[in-house]
Amino acid sequence: MSHWSTANIPAQTGRTAIVTGANTGLGFETAKALADKGAHVVLAVRNLDKGRAAAERIGGDVVLQRLDLGSLASVREAAEELKATYGTIDLLINNAGVMTPPKQTTADGFELQFGTNHLGHFALTGLLLDRLLPVPGSRVVTVSSVGHRFARAIRFEDLQWEREYNRLVAYGQSKLANLMFTYELQRRLTGQRTTALAAHPGGSDTELARHLPRAFQLALPLARALFQEAAMGALPTLRAATDPGALGGQYYGPDGFAEQKGHPKVVTSTEYSYDIEAQRRLWAVSEELTGVTFPESLDDPVTQWDELPSGRA
């Protein structure tokens, strides 16, 4: 399907979607598009004041949920509140994230990008998955980035960057982890009613760029010609979440040059991201660090897909 857009989103009436980081940028546009199609949308945000302003701008059937992905206590509290409110969930869109901040840690002592972008979403997904599993066609969509290519591998020997800190590579590791989590989750979901997919927005003009190193900040005015508006950047996520033809394990990104701009299509990630043993190791470490285990029905994944839906040979 060429030039997929929000016009291709099927009616979402009767569906419940949770979107993290939905008060601005890609998350806002994702939530708005889903609400416009009739979904009941939960804006899972850290700042409730900004969340209220976003909800007013979106309109429709939209509610707020406080969620700080940098605190496992907050993640658990939000998950409990959501489970008390919703018997089933159709879409969980793991969108929120931070990019290239100075060295910081989460409330639990994790490097901020790895802790927020990956571990927070890993925990949230694990805690909410039993609300998705009974729902035919339910999906978990996790937003990665072309920046996953900044990291050659997961630094299992120094996950929290205690020896040294490179903000770009640390960001890349967190986004690589998002992809590896998606691929491993999909393998564990084989035979279930729920699927896991990933997406990336290409070069999108959002607030995430505010922490880029000074050299990158100086180049931003020129680089903006390569960026697209947040509404376009949200399309890969929306296609992964709503396209009836999308398959578990697929990764969507823009179809333009270097996947920077354009309409969403299936793309591929780095060779390392498909390493099954590394995926399993990351999964085990993530369970250990977060204290969150997934439903027992997902404990015995198949060895591999017969054919990777991503199109990777």
> Looking at 86, 165, 171, 252, which residue is catalytic?
171
Enclosing H/E stretch for 279: helix 276-290
Number of other residues whose CB lies within 10 A of the CB of residue 209: 17
CB 157 within 8 A of CB 172: no
CB 249 within 8 A of CB 197: yes
Strand partners, 63: 42
The CA distance from 46 to 51, in Å, is: 8
Among candidate residues 193, 182, 292, 280, the one with its CA nearest the CA of residue 240: 182
Identity at 41, one-letter amino acid code:
V
Number of other residues whose CB lies within 10 A of the CB of residue 107: 12
Polymer length in residues for the chain: 313
Name the phi and psi angles at 261, rounded to 5.
Answer: -145, 165
The CA distance from 118 to 121, in Å, is: 5
- Under the phi-then-psi rule, with left for phi > 0, alpha for psi from -120 to 50, and beta for the rest, what region is 249? left
Asked if 252 is an active-site residue, the reply is no
Give start and end residues of each alpha helix (H) in 189-251.
214-223, 230-233, 235-242
- Residues marked active site are found at 171
